[in-house]
Amino acid sequence: MSRIARGIRCARKLRTRHKKQLWADKAYKKVALGSKWRHDPFQGASHAKGIVVEKLGIGAKQPNSATRKCVRVQLIKSGKKITAFVPRDGSLNFIDENDEVLVSGFGRSGHAVGDLPGVRFKVVKVSGVSLLALFKGKVEKPRN
């Protein structure tokens, strides 16, 4: 038999117990404490612009063996530095240091994806042009 109150006058007890139990829920705790806004580099937005600081290759986690191409980006709005994945083979060639890039989330709501440790974002646009369009050869990267 469960040890919760079940009587006719136990509403307050049930309510306080429920409030206490909610703190065990990870999602509730994040919302209630405002951690999303305090620690999120995008500050709640879906995308953010930034300046490329450096290009790097990050080694994939076991059992995979590869060097995933990524860039370090300093965000304009928050000044924080993040690591963003560059999708598709050879797309890193379209990105130079000090380029302005548009970065978005990379699935899994704030967690790393696949075999990339600590990479939570991906590059979508470079210098205002879609990375996919550059990759397919539909447009050329504008010269500044």
Per-residue model confidence as pLDDT tens digits over 82-114: 999 999 999 999 999 999 999 999 888 778 888
102, 47 Cβ separation under 8 angstroms: yes
- CATH fold group of domain 47-136: OB fold (Dihydrolipoamide Acetyltransferase, E2P) (2.40.50)
pLDDT band at 143 (very low <50, low <70, confident <90, very high): confident
Q: What's the pTM value of the predicted model, to 2 decimals?
A: 0.81
Per-residue model confidence as pLDDT tens digits over 56-73: 999 999 999 999 999 999
d(CA 36, CA 14): 29
d(CA 106, CA 121): 5
